[in-house]
Structure 1
Amino acid sequence: MSGKSTANDETRRLAAIDLGSNSFHLLVANYQDGQLQVVAKMGEKVQLAAGLDADENFTDAAMARALACLERFAPFLDGVPAANLRIVGTNALRAAYNARQLIDRAEALIGHPIEIIGGREEARLIYLGAAHALAEVHGRRLIVDIGGGSTEFIIGEDFEPQALESLHMGCVAYTGTFFANGDISEKRFRRAEMAAMSELANIQRHYCQLGWQDPIGSSGTIKAAAAVIGARGDGDATLIERDALMKLRKTLIGFGNLDKVAMDGLKEDRARVFPAGVAILCAVFEAFDLKRMRYSDGALREGVLFDLIGRSTPEDSRRHSIESLMRRYSVETAHADHVAQSAMAAFDQVRDGWSLSEEQRLFLFWAAQVHEIGLAISHSQFHRHGAYLLEYSDLTGFSRPEQQALAFLVRAHRRKFAQKELEALPDAVQLTYQRLARLLRLAVMLNHARPEQAPVDFQLICDGDNLHLRLPDAKPQALLLNDLEQEAAFQQSAGLTLTYSP
């Protein structure tokens, strides 16, 4: 995603909120002529990961901190169209059992959906942000981003990532594990490093085989380490040399207690989690035999904005993921295209009556394209197999809620209506996805006999949630009439009405 634009493009106001495990970040920017111009930028230490109790639930205090922060962010979102705003949650929101409770309250406060993204998707967006910040630098890069609950590692060139990993280690999590009582010692520090080395062993050989010319660090821990090293006169604030990092390590151990950690260049609200972050950074230097690492300002929130710019265009990474799935599972493309054409014809006839959006049209199209991927596993119950693949695969560009929604459509495209899976979706989208599933079911049914041309010459009328399908003048095939009778019964059992006429 290059972010190219034309000089005639109108200015777009964009915004991203990154709900990190340690900090929340807001970025508002204007986009024009292929460039982002920052309008507002804020960050607050919320420390969600530190607010997990022994049962992996957010405490009331942690949720209160999160909501108070979002309340302060909210005024900066005035004037940003909903389509130009993304709010993404990372490791702590992936891990907490009661995350949905916090998300529901936050969405009610901010008036916009929150997307939980997977670790590799987080890594991809971090790379996208860093790559744009480093656009003038050529060659293969290693990007490292140490967060509160996870650390992302990406190797890429230009704007294309070649390896993406997210490891379960972060400065907040490691503070609770290795420095829980506040004591800092050589033994505790080394235990943290060895735990990180153990995680890194999973990717060490593969990453070293790929290789890189330029190791880059992004986000809080690495930014703070570079700033402290610069303030100590051991380098500038954009470069971390290995010798300077080892001196920093020794100094931190010398403090003896987290409450005593105070250094020029280190913000007070980061001091307690800084030693754990530096321990992870030392392990990264050791595992990859790094001599130096540069700091880059581009990170997740910038990546979210650049990804947002590419959405609903030929550069949409989600489209590439769907095409990849179709190739991987040998989808019969002609039939998938026919189902998609029929689904789009149905969608366009009820779009206004059901207040459906262009983004929802995309999801229906994608579901039609991949509705048969489960056949690669088994013909029996293939709609269930397809839903499982969609929900649990790493799909570039998709958030977890988006994958769940796409999986629901595939699960619901045949047989008994998938009421249980519908109710597992967020309340706010259940009606919309129930309606999209009904359109997909009709499109699949109209193409059951696998005709040479997609049926599009039908009329679909909606009256609230009552649907009426008017078929072309030609006499319908017996198979289609039988399918319609069965489908009307399936929908009736779900409390829905489908009628039809030749």
Structure 2
Amino acid sequence: MTGMPRSALLATVDLGSNSFRLQICAVEEGQLRIVDSIKEMVRFAAGLDENKYITVEAQQRALKCLSRFGQRLQGFKPEQVRVVATNTFRVAKNIASFLPAAEEALGFPVEIIAGREEARLIYLGVKHTHPPTNDNMLVVDIGGGSTEFVIGNALQPDIMESLPLGCVTYSLRFFNDGKITSEKFERAVSSARIEIQRISPELKQHGWDFAIGSSGSARSIRDVIEAYGLSSHHLDAAAMRALAKKVIQAGSVKKAKLLNLKSDRTEVFIGGLAVMIAVFEELSLTSMSVTDAALRDGVFFDMLGRDLDHDLRDETVKQFQHRYHIDVLQANRVNQVAQQCFAGLSQNLPRNQLDMWQKYLAWSAQLHELGMSIAHSGYHKHSAYILDNADMFGFSRQEQHLLAVLVLSHRGDTKKLLEVVTERQWWPAVLSLRLAALFCRGRQDIQFPSDTSLFYDFVEKTCTLRLSAQWLQDNPLIAGSLEQEAQQWQYINRHFIIEQQAS
């Protein structure tokens, strides 16, 4: 934080039914960069008694957390901080007597938002961090005490609904003793379906083109089913039913010892799974992608009052170039040559994928040297690590991993490619960036003879480069590097063939 003015910071506090979270972001050229994040599993909804009163114990847990948040927010001005509270604050009958103590501990006013406002802010966070599209998206957010359903494609959504379905409340209501049976689980799913039936006709009538799940429940379910190979990067009904069967057979989530399930999700996992299955079955969903965006992201963007006229990913790339002191001229040079190479190497890719791959290639070219700000030696490894792990607004984790693979692959030993290039269709982009970095090693603009051509054969795993013999003679550094590249490809049982054309 040294050297960063407080005025450049924004903070949100999300007081959810399951967890409380404080997040602080720096505002840099209209972009948000996370500088601190604190999450505590307060389980506020678990403190609701049968009469909807928050117990003293739950209040004390919350106040201790808010005191710690308040200490972190010392020095912030009121206009820099927004505190939003959700379902449990909405339904607790004694919340009015708790609020003064909560606001004193935190040092800022607490805004208890309505269910539809919560839905709007969740949608805003997803919309701002998702690639631009004109298609309608259905956003489903299973929180600790409520589930929000939103449909839209513009800045203002068309439908916003909130139902009293939550991973905490359903886990307590149907599995309070920790024991899970088939009968209990089906009762939980049926109960959730009955609730969803109140809004499903309106949702179905409006329609949507794709569905996105946000919140911890969606992410934890995705992580577990991926760990078991039941699905890849998304949720589907069969995978979730298989997961439920595994838990039921074990008798509890704890005994099931689910892979990739974080310990802080164990107590509320089964309730979230039951609600998500009910969502799929009641809305006849076949697939749902999962986003890292959440309510707090929507609150940030609402504070900024941004529009959506441009691709947020382009902004993020520019910000990273500035932050990591990237040589933009060299990055543009490498991108230009990479696109030229890709035009030849991508001939066997489906036409409808070309625009997407050209974007991924451009972003990876523009960021391939960001690791040089750490060290020149092995900079591509530093670059890949940052791309895989950084907070990159607008990019999904899958997209970040793809960029990391392209950047890691652009130089060095080819043997690593067999481990990291896990999809067949990635090879043309990998080779394009690799060749572009080789051709642009001199960090000068480069012109190829008009008869230069490239082709990649997926079946034979062979790349063929046709280039003027005279041009190669005039560029000995590149000629030598190409020969070394051809040798590298032999190490992985692939072929890089250089055909010299007569002048």
TM-score by length of 1: 0.58
* TM-superposed deviation, 1:284: 0.5
Letter paired with 1:35: Q
Letter paired with 1:274: F
Letter paired with 1:91: N
**Corresponding residue for residue 178 of structure 1:** 174
Deviations 1:28-57 (A, max 9, x none): 101232211111122221111101122211
Which of 257, 267, 280 pairs up with 2:275?
Answer: 280
* TM-superposed deviation, 1:276: 1.0
CA contact (8 A) 1:261 1:271 kept: no
Deviations 1:82-124 (A, max 9, x none): 1121111111011111112322111111111001011001100
**Corresponding residue for residue 96 of structure 1:** 92
Name which of structure 1's ranges 174-183 and 106-115 shifts more when overlaid on structure 2: 174-183
Secondary structure of 2:257 counterpart: coil
1:308 equivalent to 2:268? Answer no
1:75 equivalent to 2:71? Answer yes
**Corresponding residue for residue 65 of structure 1:** 61
Q: Equivalents in 2 of 1:12, 1:141: separation in Å? A: 33
Letter paired with 2:86: T
Q: Equivalents in 2 of 1:197, 1:139: separation in Å? A: 26
1:52 equivalent to 2:54? Answer no
Residue pairs, 1:84-233, within 5 angstroms: 84-233=80-229
Deviations 1:212-259 (A, max 9, x none): 1110000110010011112222233x3112221121111121221354
Letter paired with 2:25: A
1:267 equivalent to 2:262? Answer yes
CA contact (8 A) 2:7 2:80 kept: no
CA contact (8 A) 1:262 1:268 kept: no
Letter paired with 2:269: F
**Corresponding residue for residue 245 of structure 2:** 250
Q: Equivalents in 2 of 1:158, 1:146: separation in Å? A: 22
CA contact (8 A) 2:124 2:298 kept: yes
Deviations 1:141-175 (A, max 9, x none): 00000011110000010422110000011111111
**Corresponding residue for residue 457 of structure 1:** none
Letter paired with 1:287: E
**Corresponding residue for residue 322 of structure 1:** none
Q: Equivalents in 2 of 1:153, 1:71: separation in Å? A: 32
Deviations 1:346-384 (A, max 9, x none): xxxxxxxxxxxxxxxxxxxxxxxxxxxxxxxxxxxxxxx
Change (3 A) 1:226 1:258: closer
Letter paired with 1:223: R
CA contact (8 A) 1:154 1:163 kept: yes
Residue pairs, 1:400-439, within 5 angstroms: none
**Corresponding residue for residue 297 of structure 1:** 292
Change (3 A) 1:135 1:78: farther
CA contact (8 A) 1:40 1:76 kept: no
* TM-superposed deviation, 1:127: 0.5
Q: Equivalents in 2 of 1:235, 1:169: separation in Å? A: 25
Q: Equivalents in 1 of 2:176, 2:256: separation in Å? A: 15
Letter paired with 1:290: L
Deviations 1:129-151 (A, max 9, x none): 11111143441100000011110
Deviations 1:383-440 (A, max 9, x none): xxxxxxxxxxxxxxxxxxxxxxxxxxxxxxxxxxxxxxxxxxxxxxxxxxxxxxxxxx
Q: Equivalents in 2 of 1:144, 1:84: separation in Å? A: 28
**Corresponding residue for residue 449 of structure 1:** none
Letter paired with 2:300: L
Residue pairs, 1:462-501, within 5 angstroms: none
- Which runs of no fewer than 5 residues in structure 1 stay unpaired? 1-9, 314-502
CA contact (8 A) 2:140 2:213 kept: yes
Q: Equivalents in 2 of 1:160, 1:118: separation in Å? A: 16
Secondary structure of 2:157 counterpart: strand
CA contact (8 A) 1:149 1:169 kept: yes
Between the two proteins, the alignment pairs up a number of residues equal to 302
Residue pairs, 1:255-404, within 5 angstroms: 255-310=250-305
Change (3 A) 1:137 1:253: farther
CA contact (8 A) 1:128 1:306 kept: yes
**Corresponding residue for residue 28 of structure 1:** 24
**Corresponding residue for residue 240 of structure 1:** 235
**Corresponding residue for residue 372 of structure 1:** none
CA contact (8 A) 2:133 2:153 kept: no
Letter paired with 1:268: S
Between the two proteins, what is the percent identity of the paired residues?
Answer: 43
* TM-superposed deviation, 1:79: 3.9
Q: Equivalents in 2 of 1:302, 1:76: separation in Å? A: 19
TM-score by length of 2: 0.58
Letter paired with 1:128: L
Letter paired with 2:127: A
**Alpha-carbon RMSD:** 1.8
CA contact (8 A) 1:52 1:59 kept: yes
* TM-superposed deviation, 1:186: 0.9
Letter paired with 1:280: V
Letter paired with 2:147: T
